[in-house]
Chain A
Amino acid sequence: MSEISRRKLITGGLAVAAGASGLAVAARLARRGGLIPPDAGVRYGAGETLTYAAHRVLGQHAMAREFPRSAISTNPFANEVDPLGDEFKRLQAVNFVDWRLTVDGMAARPRSFSVAEIKSFPTNSHITMIGCEEGWTYIAEWTGVPLSYILDRVGALPQVRYVVYRSIQPDWWESIDMADALHPQTLVAHRMNGGELPVPFGGPLRLRVPRQLGYKSVKYITHLTLTDNLKSFGKGTGGANSDGGYAWYAGI
């Protein structure tokens, strides 16, 4: 009896030790491999970390599902936004000719682009679904410049790990990792369903991230910052949504 329990104790102890050191090694590898999201330390961040790591390991390069033209929603829903401020209205009044998209941070040639310039760049289109964390969805055709093209133009440095993007609306910003930033379907969108991108859907410029929920597709973007660390932005969790209690990674 005591022989068995001693053996159990030893094997149990060894199993626990092996498990603990295995976890420590896994954590180190995950950190090095960029599998730890910036909000890993918040309450319930463990689940978020598992989800983000699993998605990055299993589907880093996966393409969002594209639909036939017939699937485009005839009745898309433009989610409400905070009231648009005076600056937006001033820019809107002259058809956004003065709207600028500024790119700074870890770039060899940081600069800003006018909407006309953005529209002159090569475009990509996809008919994809956008979904809200609330549960509703619609399908639309999105057209815009791949974000990777903009990053090329400004000479993004190799150590960039995140792209932070800001809306013209105060304190509204988000960030994505390079897996999404360099993804061919991630667009600085300026057209929707063959027409100008309507203001309620984010016009003149919206960052469209089709592999994540709608709150990562920030409307009215004016500013991109390339960085290797999100700690100095807001509360350090990587976005206005995650600073407000929502998960930073919204691929689920």
Chain B
Amino acid sequence: MNASVPITERDAGRASASAELAVTATKPRLRHSAAVRVTHWLTTVAFLALLLTGGEIVLSHPRFYWGETGNVNMRPWLNLHLPSSRDTVPTGYGYVLPDQNGWSRYLHFEAAWLAVGTGLFYLLYGLFSGHFRRNLLPASSDLSLKALAASSVKHLRFARPGPDEAWSYNVLQRLTYLAVIFVLFPLMIWTGLAMSFGFDAAFPLGVRLLGGHQTARSLHFLVTILLVVFLLVHVVMIFVAGFRDRMRAMIAGRMEPVGTAASPALSPAEGAVRRAMLDSSATPAED
């Protein structure tokens, strides 16, 4: 979305824009492409399956070590102090949880394949469709300290985003999504693969660069925590921004277009932004 249309042009287009507004009001516009929506929900399914089964697997040894080796005869750097599904782990609890590792491991790796397959498709789509460049790469003007601080303050106040923000990600959103997509997910896949003995044999450097088998396991756990924090903030922000609208946009791809009866009356400034959006809607910039 491009809001920097010159004033004069906006004014000139005011009449036709209002006419267009009436037309578009009956025809909701595309917010997210089908590729983004499908990969988003496939990733959601895979992530929740991985999280649940990963949690079950951790319960069979809820202790973490650095380096290559670690077992109950060694000191962990992190002991979750949770009950375990194995009686060989000294937990301090007087009971042992049922063993769920069989199906958990099967499903964990099946969901991992789904996540990786979806991720590869999304990566190719994002590169070739311009999705990354257009929707995720922040404008350089947004990366100034002042702009970042302003956006952060807005978020910290849980300020409900204006209608103009419904059509484009703000700078913090862009940076967060980029970090999740290009740092956390790849780290998750790498540390996960590094724990596989078959992968270790075929690509030993993949384990050595991380610092060892147990370090890979610890990092896998730590990145999980970061992803869970992301998920929680992500869902809270959906509620802050308007659950119905955002869910509709990510499921059906469309949103109530601006200026319909459902939306409140527009301030002059908002009106200008929306008209500018309508003007630029001739180019397919919806994602």
Contact = CB atoms under 8 A, between A and B. Distances in A.
B68 A129 contact: yes
Interface in B99-153: 101-103, 105-107, 109-113
B247 to A, nearest CB: 27
A135 B194 CA distance: 12
A133 to B, nearest CB: 6
A135 B57 contact: yes
Contacts of B209: none
A121 interface: no
Sort chain A's interface into a size bin: 35 or more
Interface stretch (A9-17, A65-73, A110-118, A161-169): A65-73
A23 to B, nearest CB: 13
Contacts of A73: 69, 71
Interface string A219-252: 0000000000000000000000000111100111
A51 B213 CA distance: 19
A246 B102 contact: yes
Contact of B197 (A47, A134, A138, A251): A251
Contacts, number: 131
Given A65-B204, A247-B106, A134 B101 contact: yes
Contacts of A100: none
B197 A210 contact: yes
Contact of A43 (B73, B103, B196): B103
B109 A137 contact: no
Given A64-B201, A246-B101, A246-B102, A47 B71 contact: no
Contacts of B112: 47
B239 interface: no
A212 interface: yes
Contacts of B86: 134
A42 B102 CA distance: 12
Interface of B: 57-58, 60-61, 68-74, 86-88, 101-103, 105-107, 109-113, 195-204, 207, 213-214, 217
13 contacts: A44-B106, A51-B113, A55-B202, A58-B202, A71-B68, A77-B73, A129-B69, A129-B197, A131-B213, A137-B68, A138-B69, A213-B197, A245-B106
Interface of A: 42-48, 50-51, 55, 58-59, 62-65, 67, 71, 73, 75-77, 79-80, 129, 131-139, 210-213, 244-247, 250-252
